[in-house]
Amino acid sequence: MSKFLNLLAGIALVSTCAAAPAMAEKLGLGRAALPEEIAAWDLDVSPDGTGLPAGSGSVEDGEMLFAEHCAICHGDFAEGVDNWPKLAGGKGTLADKDPLKTVGSYWPYLSTAWDYVNRSMPFGNAQTLSADDTYAIVAYILYSNDLVEDDFVLSDENFLDVEMPNAGGFIVDDREATEAHFWTSEPCMEDCKDTVEITMRAAVLDVTPEEIGTEAGQDQNGHSAAASHGEARVEEAKAVEASAALDAELVSAGEKVFKKCKACHQVGDGAKNKTGPTLNGIVGASAGQVDGFKYSKVMQAAASDGLVWSEDELAAFLAKPKDYMNGTKMSFAGLKKDEDVHAVIAYLMSFQQ
């Protein structure tokens, strides 16, 4: 802190001298923040519970909410899907070769989980959960880590009673003490060791991404970089041609709406299945047919009943996915505005094949 005090002292000196830049003098810029504005943005919650709103939620409600909003990435039991974070398990693994760091095994404060769910989740649809929903989801995450019973209800009143197993597992940065020997100033320059042997090679693992086109114009498959760029341009041109009949303004509005879908869906050249299936050519296509995507049971059933994604069917689905198809994996609340629905369908139609 001594540096900080010196700094303040320096500023005090400077401000007495009229010729120097008046750093500590207020410039009168900005305006006072209104209480409503502060309330809208100041949402963070501290370990002592400061910032928690009144409310409560049960493990039972949390299980339903988790299935609806979270399970698509984090799994029904918070065990994690693909590379998405695992939220449960890992107890006692922190000293293992590959520790599993979850809310239960690693996170020191419950406030962190509440704060993060409240402000940053669900992924792609943040800040849509109510306080009670957030309490319920956090209660379910605790339950999935065997930290509370199935009849537990979490609230602002019992929040600080929950004990986090790894609360004592952290120390403040001690590098300057434990690594003091790295401050050697004059390191060895000659005869620093007797022999040197290679003990490990990256090429053995072979996990490095492939080279891309070089200035010599060839990539590793012998395709010239120029040609593959050319192909991409041709594809782009085709897409533009196909959409010529579409209202360009509507398509462009749809592209903006599609940002809400992007967290899970890809469309266009090189699109891959992500959390949701690729959407190239989806308008007018039979439902549940994208290769390699694992659809929900209800979607599979609808597909075998011959559901076709006509513009009308798609519009109904996108307006309220869960109402249209109870049990769909698509954890999206729906597009409230008809114009957004039409715009996004127009945008998807620009990717017909």
Partner 1 sequence: MSESSPKKAPSRRQFLTGAAAAGAGAVAAGAARAAGPDPLITDVQDWARATGEGVDATPYGLPIEFESDVVRRNVEWLTADTISSINFTPIHALDGTITPQGCAFERHHSGAIELRKDDYRLMINGLVDTPLVFTYGDLERFPRENRVYFCECAANTGMEWAGAQLNGAQFTHGMIHNMEYSGVPLRSLLQEAGVKPEGKWVYVEGADASSNGRSIPLEKAMDDVMVAFKANGEALRKEHGYPVRLVVPGWEGNMWVKWLRRVEVMEGPVESREETSKYTDTLANGTSRKWTWVMDAKSVVTSPSPQAPIRHGPGPLVITGLAWSGRGAITGVDVSVDGGITWMPARLAAPGTDKALTRFYLDHNWDGSEMLLQSRAKDSTGYVQPTKAQLREVRGENSIYHNNCVQTWWVKENGEAENVEVS
CB neighbourhood size of 112 (10 A): 15
Residue 42 makes contact with partner 1 by CB under 8 A: yes
Q: Interacting stretch for partner 1, rule CB under 8 A, among 27-35, 130-138, 232-240, 310-318?
A: 27-35
Scanning residues 225 to 244, which ones bind partner 1 (CB under 8 A)? 225-226, 229
Query: What character string, x for contact with partner 1 (CB under 8 A) and - otherwise, covers 89-128?
Result: -----xx-xxx-x-x--xxxx-xx--xx--xx--xx-xx-
CA distance 284 to 61: 37
| Region 68-87 residues binding partner 1, contact defined as CB under 8 A | 73, 82-84
182 belongs to the binding site for partner 1 (CB under 8 A): yes
How far apart, in whole angstroms, are the C-alpha atoms of residue 59 and residue 142?
A: 8
CB nearer to partner 1: give 169 or 327: 169
Judged by CB, which is closer to partner 1: 9, or 308?
9
First-to-last C-alpha distance (Å) of the chain: 64
Beta bridge partners of 224: 218
Cβ 260 to partner 1 shortest distance, Å: 11
Six-digit token string for 53:
């709103």
Using only C-alpha atoms, the chain has a radius of gyration, in whole angstroms, of 28
Residue 195 binding partner 1, by CB under 8 A = yes
Number of residues that bind partner 1 (CB under 8 A): 99
Determine which residue in the list 184, 241, 336, 353 makes contact with partner 1, applying CB under 8 A.
184
Whose Cβ is closer to partner 1: residue 125's or residue 352's? 125
18 binds partner 1 (CB under 8 A): no
Site for partner 1 in 245-304 (CB under 8 A): 262-263, 274-275
CB 103 within 8 Å of CB 111: no
Find the binding residues for partner 1 in span 128-167 (CB under 8 A). Answer: none
Q: How many CB atoms lie within 10 A of CB 75?
A: 19
Comparing C-alpha atoms, which of 90, 87, 91, 85 is closest to residue 62? 87
Phi-psi region of 82 (alpha: psi -120 to 50; beta: other; left: phi over 0): left
